[in-house]
Structure 1
Amino acid sequence: MNENENDNEECAHHPGTLPVQQLRPGDHAFFGYEGDSHGRDVMSAFVWAGLARGEKVIVFGPPRLTEGQLWSAFEDAPGLLLATAHRTGRLRLSSMRQLIRPDREFTADRQWQRLVEESAAARAEGFTGLRAYIDMGWVADLDADLDTVMDRERRAAPLFSDGFYSEICAYDRDRFPDRVLRAMRQAHPRDLLTRIGQLRCLHLGGTLHVVGEADLTTRSQFTRALDEALRRPREEGRVTVDLRRTEFLSVQCARDLVRLVGEAGAGGTVRIRCSARHGALLSRLGARPADIEVSG
């Protein structure tokens, strides 16, 4: 099974899959990464977006990294905003050990209490929100009971109920059993693509879901998925191409979409569900107004 097929298989079981750029205040997301990159591009995008929105940000990085090594992970992100935020305390690099002090052992209640306190402090300081990036490597570092941690993840919804607090839980896939990764992915309302620039195309029923970035590097994947989906109208009726979780749609990919939809046959056999931004681009490139449904 190749990477794209594996991505599609995972995406099929999680309706909340999306790119990190589309996370919103109050979201609770699973993020699985592999290798020595520690998911730095996703982490940096999450941190930068929070700071740009006027939020306070806390990063609980991999325990095996020093603060200097963790800070170097942000080198590719716009530097002035991050550097200023770090200096003023809007961006804090921390650890789970520091969060639960003076306790030495993890309990879900203690973590919950401290996150509630951090949220209250951020409100009092006038921030628009609080977001945390939590690398789950702390589980082994604190020798925490895995079932207790999994239970916390399943029951965490009240932390996010008012939309002020947001959180990414980052799991190194090499350090957790597959059963845990599957369960934790399902326990989170959101499931993040594994890197910036990735594209997943998923066929579900009569809908093609396009998740991520359709650009020069993913164009062939995008057009293959479209071509396959648009061959189905004769067999399954109307086809929907859902672009609502498409973060970026290049002009070339948009042209391909308009052309392939036009070649699919008479109007009404295809519906393109998309944002106003993508709808305007498709209209300029000649898409039929009746084929476009602006949503979300």
Structure 2
Amino acid sequence: MRRASKTGTTAYAERTPTNFDGQAMETPWFAKRPVSEVRPGDHGWLAYSGPEERDRVIGPFVREGLQTNEKVVYVTDAPADRLPGLGPRGGVDLDACGRSGQLRVISRRDACLNRRGEFEPAMLVDTIGREVDAAFGEGYRAVRITTDHTWLVDRPGTPDLTRVLGCEDRVGDTVSPSTMAMAICQIDRRACPPGELAAIRAAHEVLVEVNPEFDDGVLKIIRTFDPDGLRLVGELDAARHAVFAESLARVSAARRRVHLDLSRLGFIDLGGLHLLARHAIGLPADQPLVLDDLAPDVENVIEMVGWHRLPGLVRGSRTSPDTEGTHR
């Protein structure tokens, strides 16, 4: 399998993680990327909580590849027009992409099942290698590969965990050194016990999430799905109250309980807290706004002004970093 692109260069720039002060941070054992920042060499992981989260990650991954000079390989038994990002509203000419070979929808039987219909990890790795080599010869700048492994863990008679992990390790060994291939392995986390889910997650270097709802370099607003809500990263000041209020109203419209993940919020002004209180005043007691990972100093301000007594505003839990990629 080829490790270099046809031009010998990559169109994907490397970036060093920084903190709020612009200082370089020590990189953890995995990277977390929005789907539009996935790049060649990434062996990505998506443990989704339902169709909405899956579609909002895999849809852009597939669609953005087809809208550029990249090949997309999707291992699935579903027809192309039912895949994330490829429906009638996707804006992709499926017939043209299929005829040209830019989109390859490969059945499980052809990609990874032996003659007895059993999962064969070596076949999947060989399939990936062939598709990447073909893409190199066809002049594509990169190859995007994805498949959903839920079927491997949610039915009787499926391969044991050791075999699945061995497959993931081999896929990682194939994708990670490549300057052409990038992959997202999907799994419905509701179908997999937490311990097994964590073990499979550990075989991936990149956790892939939805693209931000908003990101201006100061504040980032990210949709979360388990639990439903928003994650705030950076600083929430007066200049960003309006965009935050819009995002909060949008996510609250069809959900009984909304969580705000504040674990990475470095600053919130009094106006931002007042915005939360105003939103909470209109909520029923059984549909509160839940504040997760609330900083102690912010919690003190909320209690000092009495907003903690609002039935629609609830202090939530503190999230362990060990749950990254298995629970949001």
- Structure 1 residues 158, 50: closer, same or farther in 2, change over 3 A? same
**In 2, distance between residues paired with 1:153 and 1:224?**
30
Q: Cα distance 1:14–1:173, how it changes in 2: closer, same or farther (>3 A)?
A: farther
Letter aligned with residue 167 of structure 1: A
Does the 8 Å contact 1:14/1:186 carry over to 2? no
Q: Structure 1: how far apart are the matches of 2:106 and 2:80? A: 12
1:131 to 141, 144, 154: 144
Q: Which runs of 5 or more structure 1 residues have no equivalent in the other structure?
A: 1-11, 203-207, 230-296
The one-letter code sitting in structure 2 at the alignment partner of 1:217 is S
Identity of aligned residues (%): 25
TM-score scaled by length of structure 2: 0.53
The reply on whether 1:33 has 2:63 as its aligned counterpart is no
How many angstroms apart in 1 are the aligned matches of 2:171 and 2:82?
A: 26
The answer to whether the 8 A contact 2:235-2:268 is kept is no
- C-alpha distance in 2 between matches for 1:18 and 1:135: 19
* Counterpart in the other structure of 1:193: 209
Match of 1:217 in 2: 247
Q: After superposition, what is the alpha-carbon deviation per residue over 1:90-115, rounded to whole angstroms, capped at 9, x for unaligned?
A: 11222322213654322322221221
Letter in 2 for 1:169: C
Give the corresponding residue for 2:128.
115
Structure 1 residues 77 and 158, CA, compared in 2 at 3 Å: closer, same or farther? farther
In 2, Cα distance between equivalents of 1:165 and 1:132: 7
Equivalent residue number for residue 103 of structure 2: 91
Change (3 A) 1:135 1:196: farther
The residue aligned with 2:267 is 227
- Superposition deviation, residue 14 in structure 1: 6.1
Say how many residue pairs are matched: 207
Change (3 A) 1:124 1:98: same
Deviation at 1:124, TM superposition (A): 1.7
Match of residue 145, structure 1, among 140, 156, 160: 160
Task: Give the drift of 1:75.
Answer: 2.8
> Which residue of 160, 167, 178 maps to 2:183?
167
CA RMSD of aligned residues (A): 3.6
- What is the distance in 1 between the residues matched to 2:84 and 2:64? 18
Change (3 A) 1:26 1:72: closer
Q: Does the 8 Å contact 1:33/1:172 carry over to 2?
A: yes
Match of 2:39 in 1: 24
Provide the rounded CA distance (Å) in 1 between the counterparts of 2:168 and 2:45. Answer: 10
193-202 or 176-185: bigger deviation: 193-202
Question: Which of 74, 84, 102 in structure 1 is aligned with 2:86?
Answer: 74
Provide the secondary structure at the position in 2 that maps to 1:171. strand
More relative contact order, 1 or 2 (CA 8 Å, 6+ apart): 1
SS at match of 1:156: helix
Secondary structure (helix, strand or coil) at the match of 1:79 reads coil
Structure 2 segments unaligned to the other structure (5+ residues): 1-26, 214-221, 224-230, 237-242, 250-259, 270-328
Q: Given residue 178 of structure 1, which amino acid in structure 2 is its aligned partner?
A: P
Measured in 2, the distance between the counterparts of 1:209 and 1:149 equals: 41
Q: Distance in 2 between matches of 1:179 and 1:112?
A: 25
Structure 2 residue matching 1:134: 3-state secondary structure: strand
Provide, for residues 27-50 of structure 1, a one-character-per-residue CA deviation record: whole Å limited to 9, x for no partner: 110001122447112111001222
Distance 1:209 1:16, change over 3 A: farther
Amino acid at match of 2:140: F
Answer whether contact 1:60 1:134 (CA < 8 A) is retained: yes
Residue of structure 1 equivalent to 2:217: none
More helix by share: 1
Taking the aligned partners of 1:109 and 1:119, their CA distance within structure 2 comes to 16
Deviates more, 1:73-82 or 1:106-115: 73-82
Structure 1 residues 35-72: Cα deviation after superposition (integer angstroms, max 9, x where no partner): 244711211100122223311111124x5xx4166247
Q: 2:72 aligns with which of 57, 63, 84?
A: 57
- Where 2:190 maps in the other structure, the secondary structure is coil
Q: Contact (CA 8 Å) 1:44, 1:77: kept in 2 or not?
A: no
Secondary structure, counterpart of 2:191 in structure 1:
coil
Distance (Å, rounded) in 2 between the aligned partners of 1:99 and 1:48: 22
| Contact 2:41 2:180 survives alignment (8 Å) | yes
Q: CA deviation at 1:196?
A: 5.9
Cα deviation, 1:1-26, whole Å, max 9, x if unaligned, reads xxxxxxxxxxx986411211111122
